[in-house]
A and B are shown apart, each in its own frame.
Chain A
Amino acid sequence: NAGVTQTPKFRILKIGQSMTLQCTQDMNHNYMYWYRQDPGMGLKLIYYSVGAGITDKGEVPNGYNVSRSTTEDFPLRLELAAPSQTSVYFCASSYSLAGSYEQYFGPGTRLTVT
């Protein structure tokens, strides 16, 4: 099992450009998440999904969009990139929302917006 994979690993964007961060998991997990991690701060939830076709906003959704057409894939779209979106983005998945079910994380995408 590859687990959770993310592409690209690194990206530099100019202000106003758009891009899609890809995330795929092969564990047949229904629950998937997008987080951003800024230096000195905790992970912040951007969006999450409880299954194909169902997504919901997290704590910091502004400037982002998601879709979930299959169980495996959960891409994150950045429209009109801004310097405030410079961060490390992690995708994660879990078997269940509640209980002791851990979240499995992808390796992350390091994004710089200049």
Chain B
Amino acid sequence: AQKVTQAQTEISVVEKEDVTLDCVYETRDTTYYLFWYKQPPSGELVFLIRRNSFDEQNEISGRYSWNFQKSTSSFNFTITASQVVDSAVYFCALIVYNAGGTSYGKLTFGQGTILTVHP
């Protein structure tokens, strides 16, 4: 079975601070994808990034960066110079694949981290 843990339930920062959201995952499968989604107050789930288990390169997209480390089963997300519009719930998620590359169709989500950025 898979498990995703986001230990930080809530984080509160002041605008322009950097903030890191932690994600630790558990799986025995060797082929999997990790995701981060953003859920703003309006409720929709917005895809931010996908990373496969064979690609440990870190990625930067504007103010967002992600650090994937298989050795510690972590996929952390950092927002640099946070803004009020970053206030949302952020979910880390995992999906596994069998040897044939077919997914089991089930995203395992963490419980989410509520990020509040104050002006």
Q: Do A and B bind each other?
A: no
- Give the interface of A toward B (CB within 8 A): none
- Give the interface of B toward A (CB within 8 A): none
